[in-house]
Structure 1
């Protein structure tokens, strides 16, 4: 069982003992720390926080604990109930709230849950802000409200519909264009809130929807991370239904993957590539993804005359770089689409709409679209180290070894070779180095990864 305290929030497994798991006591402590930080940060007498959750089994319990803690601090809570991560992000500024909490462990299995923390813009907190909240929690520096100053809870279950209306109003989105295409789409909502939001959105575009695992019961029918090895059922369903394509989201609907019309994976790395292709074709500009994302985004960006930049891994880092470079679209290679015209957060509803527009205007099949893009293959491996080894020193040696190549050290070590790249990152929770590579064939990517892993063993003496 695990409790992970990071700058982006608190993530842990349900049950067990305090301080090692996400128990009710830990939930209250970190919700209180966030509330106290807001009081000190906002410097206002009356605060408002938006709270929403995915459909996982522990969600209602965790949400009740969080909301009760916040009103105990005198904070007003807007309860969205079952929602999505991007829906809560949109709701925060619309409610003129001071922050937001999303209760979701994203793609993690059912025993996990988490408190994801937002600022008044509906964006994830930065490292400094997250560190302050962890410090408040450690010191248990809480001062709860007296009886006449308790907060209140108001319910608002309309925000998924508001979110859909927001997507439909975006300048590059035209529902009538998509309706003419008469698409048929299979949706895997992994029995969470994507099963509510994505079919509703598709129906607004006149899409015939075939639902698969769209009941928000929280009983995930497969591993909820939208990877090829978990998606056999929808791949078969797309072919059986003669659908145009399939859509898969994770439990909180910030990661988006597509299934081609022949049942093959479009590739979650290419979700961002396709959406960027559409946006850049309409409004030329710059793009950003993280260092571990496919080189294909760079290729598409340059094809459209824009400039591509790579940020450190993590949504908040991508957003910072996007604002710095005035990027018009960005995200992460795990299927996360960030479109600033909408908001600075990964959003599968926005990504779905952009993809529908691309397909409606371009015509042809989804498989043909995938085959039109530069083809790269990734290898994702890890090398285990003994705890006493200095991982930073090992990475520094690898950077020196390849200093004649294009090297980035903003997040571990990334070495860009002419035809491929390798990205080395240390884990924050265990003594391992993650080794990601990308090349023009799977064999080349695997061979490069194995070569680098052997060199790490040599420089570390293991």
Structure 2
């Protein structure tokens, strides 16, 4: 059982002991720290925070604890109920709220939950802000409100519909164009809020929907991370239904993966590539992804005369780099689409609409579209950390070993070879080292990853 504290919030497994797991005490403490930080950094007499959650079994319990804590601090709460991460991100500025909290552990299994913290723009906090909240949580320097100054709770369960309308209003999204294509799409909502939001969006765009695991019970029917090894059911159903493609999202709907018309993975890395291809063809500009994302985005960006930049892993880092470089689209290779025309957050609804526009205008099959992009293959592996392992020293040794190559230490160690690359970094959400590689064949990518793993083990003596 685990509790992980980071600048982006607190994440852990339900049950167990306070401080070691995400218990009610920990949920209250971190909600109080966030609310106290907001109060310290504003002159407003009354604050308002937007709260939404995915469909996890523990979600209602954690939500009740967090909402009551904020009310106790004298903060008003707008409760969206079952929602998505991008929906809460959109709601914060639309409501002119002072911040937001999303209760979700993203792709983690059902025993996990988390508090994801937003600023008044509906964007994730930066490192300095997150560190201050962690300090407040540790010190427990909270001052709660007296009875006449308690906060008030209001509810709005229509925000997924508002979010969908925001997507339909985007200049590069034309519902009539999509409707004319008469698409048939299978949706795997992993029994969370994607099972509400994605089918609603598709139906608004005139798409025939086949629903799979779209009942938001929180009982995930498979590992909720949208990777090939977890998605056998939808791959089979796409073929059986003769669908144009399939859509898979994670529990909080900020990661988007497609299944092509043959029942094969389109590739999470290529979700961003395809959406960027559509946007760049319409409006030339720059792109950003993280250091662990495919070179294919760079290739497509340069094809349209734009500039590609890589950021450290983490949504807040990608957003910062996108603002610096005036990127018109960006995101992460895990299927996270960030489209500033909508908002600065990963959004599977926006990504779905852009992808449908690309398919409607280009024609052909999803398999043909995938084959039109540069052929890169990734291997994503991991090494479990042990308490006595000095990971920073290990990464420094790997950096020194490959000093004659193109090496970046912005986030872990990334080594760019002429024909492939490897990125080594500590995970922010799990006690592991991630090893990402990319090459021009799967065999080469896997072989490179295995070679690097052996080198790391040799250096570490494990």
1:345 pairs with 2:379 = no
State the Cα distance separating 1:400 from its structure 2 match: 2.4
Match of 2:202 in 1: 202
State the Cα distance separating 1:459 from its structure 2 match: 3.9
Distance 1:385 1:77, change over 3 A: closer
State the Cα distance separating 1:391 from its structure 2 match: 2.3
1:262 pairs with 2:280 = no
Distance 1:158 1:271, change over 3 A: same
The alignment partner of 1:252 has SS state of coil
Deviation string, structure 1 residues 240-291 (Cα, Å, up to 9, x no partner): 1111000010110000000101111101111000000000000111111111
Distance 1:432 1:351 in 2: 29
Match of 1:24 in 2: 24
Distance 1:160 1:429, change over 3 A: closer
The alignment partner of 1:221 has SS state of coil
Distance 2:151 2:132 in 1: 23
1:333 pairs with 2:333 = yes
More deviation, 379-388/42-51: 379-388
List alignment gaps of at least 5 residues for structure 1. none
TM-score, with structure 1 as normaliser: 0.98
Check whether the contact 1:83–1:193 (CA below 8 A) recurs between aligned residues.
yes
Check whether the contact 2:6–2:428 (CA below 8 A) recurs between aligned residues.
no
The alignment partner of 2:90 has SS state of helix
Report matched runs for 1:97-246 at 5 Å: 97-246=97-246
Distance 2:24 2:454 in 1: 44
Distance 1:426 1:235, change over 3 A: same
State the Cα distance separating 1:430 from its structure 2 match: 7.3
The alignment partner of 1:81 has SS state of strand
Q: Could you list the structure 1 runs, at least 4 aligned residues long, displaced by more than 6 angstroms after superposition.
A: none
Match of 1:365 in 2: 365
State the Cα distance separating 1:319 from its structure 2 match: 0.5
Match of 1:90 in 2: 90
The alignment partner of 1:108 has SS state of coil
State the Cα distance separating 1:431 from its structure 2 match: 6.9
Match of 2:417 in 1: 417
Distance 2:428 2:202 in 1: 39
Match of 1:72 in 2: 72
Distance 1:168 1:161 in 2: 11
Distance 1:72 1:232 in 2: 46
Deviation string, structure 1 residues 294-337 (Cα, Å, up to 9, x no partner): 11111111111111111111111100110111101000111000
Check whether the contact 1:42–1:98 (CA below 8 A) recurs between aligned residues.
no
Check whether the contact 1:387–1:431 (CA below 8 A) recurs between aligned residues.
no
State the Cα distance separating 1:386 from its structure 2 match: 5.1
Report matched runs for 1:258-297 at 5 Å: 258-297=258-297
Check whether the contact 1:377–1:441 (CA below 8 A) recurs between aligned residues.
yes
Deviation string, structure 1 residues 71-91 (Cα, Å, up to 9, x no partner): 110000000001000000000
Distance 1:84 1:267, change over 3 A: same
State the Cα distance separating 1:458 from its structure 2 match: 4.2
- Give the number of aligned pairs: 462
Match of 2:375 in 1: 375
1:298 pairs with 2:293 = no
The alignment partner of 2:334 has SS state of coil
TM-score, with structure 2 as normaliser: 0.98
Check whether the contact 1:187–1:198 (CA below 8 A) recurs between aligned residues.
yes
State the Cα distance separating 1:397 from its structure 2 match: 2.4
Check whether the contact 2:53–2:63 (CA below 8 A) recurs between aligned residues.
yes
Match of 2:392 in 1: 392
State the Cα distance separating 1:450 from its structure 2 match: 2.3
Check whether the contact 1:56–1:192 (CA below 8 A) recurs between aligned residues.
yes
Distance 2:386 2:23 in 1: 30
Report matched runs for 1:446-461 at 5 Å: 446-461=446-461
Check whether the contact 1:377–1:438 (CA below 8 A) recurs between aligned residues.
yes
Check whether the contact 1:80–1:155 (CA below 8 A) recurs between aligned residues.
yes
State the Cα distance separating 1:158 from its structure 2 match: 1.1
Check whether the contact 1:413–1:425 (CA below 8 A) recurs between aligned residues.
yes
Check whether the contact 2:11–2:429 (CA below 8 A) recurs between aligned residues.
no
The alignment partner of 1:180 has SS state of helix
Match of 2:355 in 1: 355
